[in-house]
Amino acid sequence: MTTDETAVYEDLRRRVADFLAAHVPQATDRLAFLRARYDAGLAWVFFPEGHGGLGLPRALQPEVDRLFEAAGAPDNNRHANGIGLGMAAPTILAFGTEEQKQRFLKPLWTGEEVWCQLFSEPGAGSDLAAVATRAVRDGDTWVVNGQKVWTSGAHNARFAILVARTNPDVPKHGGLTYFLCDMTDPGVDVRPLRQITGEAEFNEVFLTDVRIPDSQRLGAEGEGWKVANATLNNERVAIGGDAAPREGGMVGVVAQTWRDHPDRRTPELHDRLMRLWVEAEVARLTGQRLRQQLAIGQPGPAGSAMKLTFARLNQDLTGLELELLGEDGLRYSDWTLVRPEKVDFTGRDAGYRYLRAKGNSIEGGTSEILRNIVAERVLGLPAEPRVDKDIPWKELAR
């Protein structure tokens, strides 16, 4: 560290120590503690002052979180609000008005308001720009009608980030607008989608005459594609770029299964495990570099490569674990319909991990689309022909 960096680091540690002295975790109400932490700028230290941060480098956030955890401080249950923290918050910060930031960021960080994402539709998944959900202006409000699908956590959400079509007369990318939708509106109908795992963490959401104030439009009318891309870049980093120790995540689970079953080992399985272990380590180190880049700017298309790698590794590793366990890997302990707050890969059996990993190559952008993004925006390869680029959305076949 330079002298200036050391001074910033030490000042931050003093701030945390002073805060903990004034708000003893064991003697302070959980929600009051979290609200005070936000007000002190110790929630997201890399956010601006007044919005839960101090305008410091993002690289300092893990140290702040570590200090609070060591003191026994309550956390904000980030796993139950991953979409809010990882996707909605940075998008609101980048595109929101000051009033929107003041209204939404604090209860989002404290976990008082959980968020979900209303993007994908039955006819607009990989091709998000094809969304058909319509938002029609009516004075100071927008009336929204349509259907969304694969909405994680909608059953627990208070608000949603929503992309809807506001102008069908222009090409599909230009006619979208981005909104902040109140999930308690009487026109919002959330229905569970039961997955192959037996759970229903996803939902389909029907929107019937849902009224959204224009004050909850994020960004300019017609700029929804631009705002949505910022959200998606953050999503892919959040899914595939989490910090993890060596042999953390799925590779650690499978490596432990290998150690626990010496009777099941074969040379072929050993070679596959070693190859995947090396690939997981390369991905971990690449993720460190990506987070360093994030510390000085906004996420870019490189996050798509991390998410693509995450999905492939998870599927390959869970498949290897199932082969290693043989008939024991076919056992499935729980098929009851539950509505989980978070996906738990490590606390379940191998059969669950194998089935749930299949969704990793769909959620957060399909692997096929992510390969196109990496090819065109990272490697600079020629773009695929897009014959519908200049055709008004209403003239497209659907």
Q: Could you write out the DSSP letters of every residue in 377-390?
A: IIS-PPPPP-TTTT
Average pLDDT, the chain: 90
Burial of residue 181 (number of CB atoms within 10 Å: 0-12, 13-18, 19+): buried
Closest by alpha carbon to 145, among 205, 88, 203?
205
Q: Which residues pair with 210 in a beta bridge?
A: 144
Any idea which of 41-45, 149-153, 161-165, 328-332 has the lowest mean pLDDT? Answer: 328-332
Q: What is the rounded average pLDDT of the residues 132-144?
A: 98
Report residue 125's pLDDT band, with 50, 70 and 90 as the boundaries: confident
Between CA 169 and CA 192 the distance in angstroms is 34
Asked if 155 contacts 174 with a C-beta cutoff of 8 angstroms, the reply is: no
Residue 136 has what pLDDT?
Answer: 98
Between CA 181 and CA 179 the distance in angstroms is 6
CA distances 339 to 113, 156, 168, Å, are: 18, 9, 36
Q: What is the rounded average pLDDT of the residues 205-230?
A: 97
Q: What is the rounded average pLDDT of the residues 325-344?
A: 76
Higher pLDDT, 370 or 11: 11
Report residue 28's pLDDT band, with 50, 70 and 90 as the boundaries: very high
Q: What is the rounded average pLDDT of the residues 320-343?
A: 81
In the chain, which ranges are continuous DSSP H helix?
Answer: 3-22, 30-39, 61-70, 82-83, 89-95, 98-110, 224-240, 250-260, 267-294, 302-325, 350-357, 367-373
Residue 233 has what pLDDT?
Answer: 76
Residue 337 predicted with pLDDT over 90: no
Residue 210 has what pLDDT?
Answer: 98
CA distances 155 to 143, 144, 151, 341, Å, are: 22, 19, 9, 9
Residue 286 has what pLDDT?
Answer: 83
Report residue 121's pLDDT band, with 50, 70 and 90 as the boundaries: very high
Condensed to tens digits (0 to 9), the pLDDT of residues 271-299 reads 999 999 999 999 888 877 776 666 555 55
Report residue 42's pLDDT band, with 50, 70 and 90 as the boundaries: very high
Residue 363 has what pLDDT?
Answer: 80
| Catalytically active residues, by annotation | 235
CA distances 27 to 21, 33, 80, 112, 379, Å, are: 11, 10, 25, 20, 54
**Phi, then psi, of 35 in degrees rounded to 5:** -65, -40
Q: Which domains does the chain have, with CATH numbers?
A: 1-75 (no CATH), 228-378 (1.20.140.10)
Quote the distance between the C-alpha of residue 230 and its chain's center.
12
Report residue 335's pLDDT band, with 50, 70 and 90 as the boundaries: low
Condensed to tens digits (0 to 9), the pLDDT of residues 181-208 reads 999 999 999 999 988 888 888 899 999 9
Report residue 300's pLDDT band, with 50, 70 and 90 as the boundaries: low
**Residue 153: what residue type?**
G
3-class secondary-structure state, position 209: strand
Residue 58 has what pLDDT?
Answer: 82
Between CA 239 and CA 248 the distance in angstroms is 15
Higher pLDDT, 80 or 69: 69
Report residue 19's pLDDT band, with 50, 70 and 90 as the boundaries: very high
Condensed to tens digits (0 to 9), the pLDDT of residues 149-183 reads 999 999 999 999 999 999 999 999 999 999 999 99
Residue 52 predicted with pLDDT over 70: yes
